[in-house]
Amino acid sequence: MSELENPNENIYSLTKDEEEILKPKKDFFIKGVLIFGGLFFLFSLYELNIDYANLLEGTGAFFAMLIDMFPPNISEWAYVLPAAIESLQVAILGTVIAVVISLVLAFLAAENLAPSLWVSRIVKGFATLMRVIPTIIWALIFIVAVGLGPLPGVLAIAVHSLGMLIKVFAQSVEEMDEGKIEALKASGAGWIQIIAQAVIPTVLTALMSWTILRLEIDIGESTILGLVGAGGIGWELMRAMRSYDFNSALFITMVIFIMIFSVEMLSNRLKLKV
C-alpha cells in the first residue's frame, strides 16, 4: 500500500512524463496544419482574384434564375427518360467491363500473388495512371478517337474504374491471411488453383462491396459525361442550359438527382446485406 503512505498526495495526479504521453505532440501538429491551412487559404483567395461585385450581382441573378426555373417543364420526358436510361446503361456496362478486367489484373498487381515484383509494379503504375486522369478527360480522349456517342462514355468509365478497382482489389488481396496461400502452395497447387480456392472465397465480400461502391460513383459520373458529348442525360442538360430553357433544365436536374439519390439509398441497403 505504498500509495497510501503519504495521504496528502493526490494519487490521481500525473507525473510530467505521463502527461506528455496522454497529450502527445499531435495537438501541436494539428494546430500547425490548421494555421498553415488558414494562411494558404488567404493566399489562395488573394491569388484567385475573385470579382466580388460580380459575385454579389451573380448571386442575385442565380436566385432569380432558381425562381425562374419553377415549375419544371416535364413535356420533354420522352427525350429525357431514354437519355437517363442510356446514362445508367453506360455506367453498368463500364463498371462490368472494369470489374472483369480488374479481377485478372488485380491478382497480378497484388504483391503476394504476382509472379514477380516487377509485374506488380508495372500493373500498379498503369492503374495509377488510369485512376488519376478523371473520367471526363478519358471521355474527351475517346471521343477524339472513336467519335461521339455512348461508346466513348463506356470506355472512359471502364478505364477510370479499372484503375481504382485494380488498386483496391489488390489491396484486399494483399491484406489476406498468408497461411491459406502457403498451405495450398505446399500441397502443390498451381497459381490458378490458389486464386480459385483460397483467394477468391476470402476476398469475395470485399470485392462485392467495392464493386457496389464503384457502380454508385460511375452512375454519378455517367450523368455528366454527356456534357462533353459522350451520350446520356448530361447532353440533354447541356442543350437545355445552352438554349436558356431553365424549366427543362430543372426537370433534367431533378431526374439526375433522383437517379443518384435512389442509387445511394439502394447501395446503402446492399452494403448492409453484404
Partner 1 sequence: MLNKWKRVIALEGTKDIRRHKRLQTMLIILLVIGLTVWSAIGTDFSVYEVFSGVGLISNFLFLDLLPPDVTTSGSLLGAILETLYMGFVGMVVGALIALILSFLAAGTTTPHPIIQVVVRAFTSIIRNIPGLIWALILVASYGIGVTVGTLSLILGSVGFLTRVFADTLEEIDTGKIEALNATGSSYLQVLAQGVFPQFIPGFVAWSLYNLELNIRASTIIGMVGGGGIGFAIQKGIKLFQYKEVSMAIILVLVLILSTEFLTSKIRERII
Q: C-alpha 266: how far from its chain's center? A: 17
Question: Could you tell me which stretch among 5-13, 150-158, 172-180, 184-192 binds partner 1 (CB under 8 A)?
Answer: 150-158
Give, in degrees to the nearest 5, the angle at Cα 103 between 168 and 93.
Answer: 95
Is there binding between residue 141 and partner 1 (CB under 8 A)? Answer: yes
The residue within the footprint of partner 1, chosen from 145, 148, 266, 274 (CB under 8 A), is 145
Amino acid residing at 244: Y
The nearest distance, CB 47 to partner 1, in angstroms, is 5
What distance in Å separates the CA atoms of residue 4 and residue 10, rounded to the nearest whole number?
A: 10
Q: In this structure, what DSSP letter does residue 3 have?
A: G
Map the footprint of partner 1 across residues 166-205, applying CB under 8 A.
none
Window 105-134: residues binding partner 1 (CB under 8 A): 128-129, 132-134
3-state class percentages of the chain: helix first, strand second, coil last, to nearest 5:
80, 0, 20
CB of 115 to partner 1, least distance (A): 26
Helix (H, G, I), strand (E, B) or coil at 24: coil
Which C-beta is closer to partner 1: that of 189 or that of 260? 260
Site for partner 1 in 201-240 (CB under 8 A): 220-221, 223-224, 227-228, 231, 234, 237-238
Whichever of 113 and 228 has its CB closer to partner 1, that residue is 228
Residues near 146 by Cβ (< 8 Å), separated by ≥ 6? 152, 155
Least spacing, CB of residue 231 vs partner 1, in Å:
7
Is residue 127 a contact partner of residue 166, using CB atoms and an 8 Å limit?
A: yes
Position 149 contacts partner 1 (CB under 8 A): yes
Assess 255 for contact with partner 1 (CB under 8 A). Answer: no
Residue 90 or residue 166: which is nearer to partner 1 going by CB? 90
Q: Does 270 bind partner 1 (CB under 8 A)?
A: no
Nearer to partner 1, 183 or 220 (CB): 220
Point out which span in 72-80, 102-110, 164-172, 245-253 binds partner 1 (CB under 8 A): 245-253
| Other beta carbons within 10 Å of 96 | 15
Residue with cell 476470402: 202
Cβ-based burial of 103 (10 A; exposed 0-12, middle 13-18, buried ≥19): middle
Contacts of 10 (CB under 8 A, 6+ apart): none
Site string for partner 1, 22-51 (x = CB under 8 A): ----x--xx--xx--xx-xx--xx-xxxxx
Nearest distance, CB of residue 8 and partner 1, angstroms: 27
By CB under 8 A, tell whether 165 contacts partner 1.
no
